[in-house]
Amino acid sequence: MKVKLVSESFLIRGTFTISRGSRTHANVVVVELQQGEYIGRGECVPYARYGESIESVLAELETLVAKIESGLTREQMQSLLPAGAARNALDCAYWDLACKQQGQRIWERIPVAQPISLTTAFTLSLDKPERMKKAAIDNAHRPLLKLKLAGEGDIARVTAVREGSPKARIIVDANEGWDEALYIEIVPELVKLGVEMIEQPFPADNDAALEHLPRPITLCADESCHDRTSLPKIIGRYDMINIKLDKTGGLTEALELKKAAQQANLQIMVGCMLATSLAMAPAFVIAQGVDVVDLDGPLLLAEDRESPFTFTESLMHVCDAELWG
C-alpha cells in the first residue's frame, strides 16, 4: 500500500458567506491509497469551527502513514483517529479502494439499494436582503432553497427571499447565530413565511433551552451532532440531525449514525461542507431516502473535478465509478 496526501483549492462562484465569515475558495485535503494498479480516494474539508486546518489534518494523517502502508485496515483505523475531517478522507479512500479492487459499486459493498437521483437544496449565501432577493429570483426555478442567516436582520432576509421565490420550499441555517430572545421573536414570523426547517439556531454548547422552547418549525442539529455519541443530548432538543461526513469521520460512522437516528425517530438531513464532487459521492449514498438533501457543494464552485456529479438544475444524478465508489 502507498499513501499520498495532498491539499487542493477550488474556486467558488463569487463569494460564499455565513455568519462566521466569507470565502472565495474551497480548500480540501485528499487522501489517495494505492495498491497495485488500484487507487482509492477520499476528500475532506478541515473546518476551523472544530479546531481543524489544512496543516492539522495533514499532520493527523501523517501519523498513520507507516501503519497504513504496513497493512492497517479501515476497521482498525476507526479508533486511531477522532471523528473529524482527517478520518473522513482516509475512511472514504479505504471504501473507494475496496470498490475498485472488487469491481463493485459502493452500494453493493455496504450493501444498500442502488441509489437514485436526488433533489438537493441550493444554498443562498448570507447577504443584505436586497441581494438575497436577487439571488432568490435567479434561482426561483429551484424547488428547495437553503438560506444562510446570522441573527440581526434575518426576518428581512427571509421575507426578501420569499418575495423573490414565492413557490420554493425554504429552510434556513442560523449557524449558531441566535439567542433565546431572538428565537422567540423570529420563529412566529418564519412560520408565516413558510419556512420548513431551522438548522442549529443556538451555539452547540448552549442549546439546552430548546428543551422548553416551542418548536412549530422542525429544528435540525448540525454543530450539535457529530457521531452517535451526540444523540443522547439531541433527543428532546431537536427533531432532525444533519449528517456530514466531515463530522462523523467518514462513511463508516455515518452509516451507523443514520441507523441510530432512525431508531430514535429523528428526521435526517445529509449535508456537506463546501467541497467538490469527490466529497459529495459518499454522502450521496447516505442521503438516499432521507428527509432533506443538502449536497450542493459542486453547484457553488466555479471548477470541479473530472467525472463530476451531473446535475439537472437541482436534481443530482448517480455519479460514475471513476469519481468514487
Q: Is residue 210's pLDDT more than 80?
A: yes
What CATH number has the domain spanning 118-316? 3.20.20.120
In the set 133, 148, 247, 258, the catalytic residue is 148
Query: How far are the Cα atoms of 95, 107, 153, 301 from residue 275, in angstroms, in the given order?
Result: 19, 22, 28, 8
22 band by pLDDT with thresholds 50, 70 and 90: confident
Give the start-to-end residue ranges of the domains of the chain.
Answer: 2-109, 118-316
Does 148 participate in catalysis according to the annotation? yes
Q: Is residue 19's pLDDT more than 80?
A: no
Please identify which residue in the block is written with the cell numbers 459542486: 298
pLDDT given at position 18: 82
- Please say whether the structural domain 2-109 has been given the CATH code 3.30.390.10: yes
Tell which residue, 160, 167, 120, has the closest CA to residue 140.
167
Q: Is residue 179's pLDDT more than 90?
A: yes
Does 167 participate in catalysis according to the annotation? no
Q: Is residue 280's pLDDT more than 90?
A: yes
Distance CA 50, CA 61 (A): 17
Distance CA 132, CA 294 (A): 19
160 band by pLDDT with thresholds 50, 70 and 90: very high
134 band by pLDDT with thresholds 50, 70 and 90: very high
pLDDT given at position 20: 73
pLDDT given at position 15: 84
Distance CA 165, CA 150 (A): 20
Q: Each residue of 24-35: pLDDT tens digit?
A: 999 999 999 999
pLDDT given at position 23: 86
In the set 146, 244, 247, 258, the catalytic residue is 244
Residue 16 CB neighbour total at 10 angstroms: 19
Residue 22 φ then ψ, to 5°: -120, 155
Over residues 137-157, mean pLDDT: 96
Query: How far are the Cα atoms of 135, 144, 164, 238, 273 from residue 140, in angstroms, in the given order?
Result: 8, 9, 7, 29, 23
6 alpha carbon, distance to own chain's centre? 21
